[in-house]
Amino acid sequence: MSTAPIVVVGGGLAAGTAITELRERGYTGPLVALTDEPRLPYERPPLSKGYLMGKDAPDGSLVHDRAWYDEHDVDVRTGTRVEAIDPANRTVLTRDGELGYRSLLLATGARPRRLALADDSGAPVTYLRTFEDSTALREQLRPDRRIGIIGGGWIGLEVAAAAREAGASVTVLEALEQPLLNVLGGTVAEIFADLHRRHGVDLRTGVRVERITSAGAGAVVELADGGRFEVDHLVVGVGAVPATELAEAAGLTVDNGVRTDSALRASAPDVFAAGDVANADHPVLGHPLRVEHWDTAIKHGKVAGANLAGGAEVADALPYFFTDQYDLGMEYVGNAGPDGFDRVVVEGDVPGLNFRAWWLRSEADGERVVAGMHVNDWDAIDEIRSRVGGLTS
């Protein structure tokens, strides 16, 4: 099998970064990338940000253009769905037949969690995950449209911001008492709720969708409390699930993603997982971690690429993510983990949207900073990175 290629399954940022790292690390052997999407590997944040808002070019999200892959002798096969993997025989099965591999990287990502009430309604519904999803949705974002968004997480709020900036009417439905409540806690979640309401979003919290029906070219949404409203288009953003079907069928260890060690090795020899699909041991945080964010896809891609090339690196970076909504730009570092946090400290000018927030957990030796965030305080990120994981003074 020495002449067999390294095979990368996936078309997102983790896959594209791993391919880049392999070539930069000096791996000159055969390299095949398989993605079921029609595009070359690309990053997804623009789908709910710049591209959705019409600010980014269609190809701006590509990790590399076709010329780069040709120059670096990477066989990228778009529109190619992997049907099965066989770790025992080191093969990947596609509709074109079997492909042997030397090593395999699963970077299959995650897919939106489905909402049966919406899917069965016959109403126009978008789940935002692919370039095609974003292209179709941005055609709906215009002043004469009413957009309904089910789910007040990051995707839902970013779509709400893009829709309002395009002049559309927006209603957001969130089951919890605040958007992002489980992630940020009530203090900071309320800041995001107020932000959207100030920008004209009809944000309804603590609600349950009872029924969705089609109405002409739009939809009628009925709530358990008796509320009822009509929209021209629905967006569902109620979370994502890791795309583990290939791994499960192949007998790999799967638990909220493909379980890996800190070097991103899965439970079969020479099989790695990276990005949204990987639930990896984290040597700093001390517990397995699966993260669906841009920075982790990059960091995982680099570690996986290095190790596929014969290295011995670990994925020990603290989780990081960012969002841009209206005039709010935010960067967040850390992870509260299974033990959560006990309190949140906010410092700075909250009404002026220039502040820092710290998530603290009480431990035997003091309060530990488990996460930190800034809003529009662009000199703060280095301090935040340095303080997360340590004790308060």
Query: 53 in helix, strand or coil?
Result: coil
Nearest in space to 159 (alpha carbons), one of 51, 45, 234, 48: 48
- At residue 3 the predicted structure's pLDDT band, cuts being 50, 70 and 90, is confident
pLDDT tens digit sequence for 94-153: 999 999 999 999 999 999 999 999 999 999 999 999 999 999 999 999 999 999 999 999
Domain 6-111+240-308 has CATH 3.40.1010.20: no
pLDDT at 274 over 80: yes
User: How does the average pLDDT of the chain come out, rounded?
Assistant: 96
* Residue 329 tokens, joined: 């730009």
Q: What percent of the chain has pLDDT over 90?
A: 96
pLDDT at 2 over 80: no
Note the pLDDT of residue 155. Answer: 96
**DSSP state, 62?**
B
pLDDT tens digit sequence for 185-241: 999 999 999 999 999 999 999 999 999 999 989 999 999 999 999 999 999 999 999
Q: Determine the Cα–Cα distance for residues 204 and 231; give it in Å rounded to an integer.
A: 15
- At residue 337 the predicted structure's pLDDT band, cuts being 50, 70 and 90, is confident
**Helix or strand run (H / E) with residue 347:** strand 343-349
Whether 325 and 161 have beta carbons less than 8 Å apart is answered as yes
Nearest in space to 122 (alpha carbons), one of 210, 209, 211, 213: 213
Range(s) of the chain covered by CATH 3.30.390.30: 327-387
Mean pLDDT for the stretch of residues 372-391:
96
Note the pLDDT of residue 205. Answer: 97
pLDDT at 1 over 90: no
Taking the chain, what is the end-to-end CA distance rounded to the nearest angstrom? 56
Mean pLDDT for the stretch of residues 26-37:
97
Range(s) of the chain covered by CATH 3.50.50.60: 6-111+240-308, 114-236
- Say what the pTM is: 0.95
Q: Determine the Cα–Cα distance for residues 173 and 185; give it in Å rounded to an integer.
A: 18
Whether 233 and 160 have beta carbons less than 8 Å apart is answered as no
What architecture is domain 114-236? 3-Layer(bba) Sandwich (3.50)
pLDDT tens digit sequence for 44-95: 999 999 999 999 998 999 999 999 999 999 999 999 999 999 999 999 999 9
- At residue 338 the predicted structure's pLDDT band, cuts being 50, 70 and 90, is confident
Q: What CATH number should be reported for the domain whose range is 327-387?
A: 3.30.390.30
